[in-house]
Amino acid sequence: MIVPGRAHLGHILRYVGRPLVWLLAWDIAVTAFWYFVGAHWVEFPALPLTLLGSAVAVYLSFRNTTAYARWWEARTLWGAMVNASRTLAREALTLLPDRGLAKDVIHRQIAYVHALRLHLRRQQPWDELAHRLPTADLSALRAVANVPNAIHARTAGLIADSRPDPILLATIARTLSDISNAQGGMERIKNTPLPQQYATYPAIFTHGFCLLLPLGLVETLGLYTPLGSTVAGFLFLALLQIGNDIQNPFENLEDDVPLTTLTQAIEIDLRDALGENHGLEPCKPVNGILW
């Protein structure tokens, strides 16, 4: 996640730099062709171009709204995971009679959130889990497809095996269900991308509009056509890129939900609840980005 701050011209240009360079070259070519060859037949009527631009802008805005809704839901689900992890730690320490079991549940929850982070990013979890879970558990986990779900199920089994009071067990079970529901929502977002039409059509319409733009502006703007067309095209290309960047929030890219930061925060909170001297610190932005 890019940390909010002042926008820098270099970052803005890099954001859509390559298509913008091609657009500028096309704008210059159209302008030169119109002036030096005198081929005024390349002009494009202004009214259809205005209507087309309005339609493309509405379509991009709708697509970006849908993409941001996915991003925000992903962040909301991780907020629920943070809260449920804290609740589980508190309930384990206050409701479970066995202090050793409570400590084990909390450590397993730490392993769980790190495994979930790597599961959503399609990365291998074994190095992260090697110092967090017993060897026997790691061997069993290598045989399952959904590692975080298996860790969570085993944690629930350990709590049930301790045979706590049924009322206390029901209380903890609700928290465990909240954790499972949050994971299910994250997996739904991960495994259900936006329809292909949202990925293909916006790119076709935007680039097509940018190609027609200098044809509709050259008669009016003349030599200033490359400037006006490139600036207007930049707005559309930026809208297109914004939607592409946020529609899949678990890809471990700079615009994603900062899973590393969130899981680190959970681990700090849970180890603090145990009173451990862990020496961990919240993640800090790296070059303006929280991972």
- Count how many Cα atoms sit within 13 Å of the Cα of residue 164 in the half-sphere of its side chain: 23
Question: Which of the residues in the chain have pLDDT under 70?
Answer: 1-15, 38-47, 288
pLDDT at 281: 84
Domain locations along the chain: 9-274
What predicted TM-score, i.e. pTM, was given to this entire model?
Answer: 0.84
pLDDT at 2: 64
pLDDT at 54: 82
**Residues 67-84 pLDDT 10s:** 899 999 999 999 999 999
pLDDT at 4: 65
Cα pseudo-dihedral 19, 22, 28, 33, rounded to 10: -130
- For residue 22 the two structure tokens come to 């091609």
Answer yes or no: are the C-beta atoms of 60 and 233 closer than 8 Å: no
Cα pseudo-dihedral 87, 89, 95, 96, rounded to 10: 150
- For residue 132 the two structure tokens come to 């967090």
- For tokens 């730690």, the residue is 89
| Residue 171 burial (10 A CB sphere; 0-12, 13-18, 19+) | middle
User: Burial code of 146-158, b = ≥16 C-beta within 10 A, e = fewer?
Assistant: ebbbbbbebbbee
Task: Taking each helix axis as running N to C, give the angle between helix 196-221 and helix 17-32, from 0 to 180 degrees, rounded to the nearest 10.
Answer: 40
pLDDT at 106: 95
pLDDT at 150: 93
Q: Read out DSSP for 179-221?
A: HHHHHHHHHHHHHSPPPHHHHHHHHHHHHHHHHHHHHHHHHHH
Q: For residues 46 and 53, what is the distance between their CA atoms, to the nearest angstrom?
A: 10
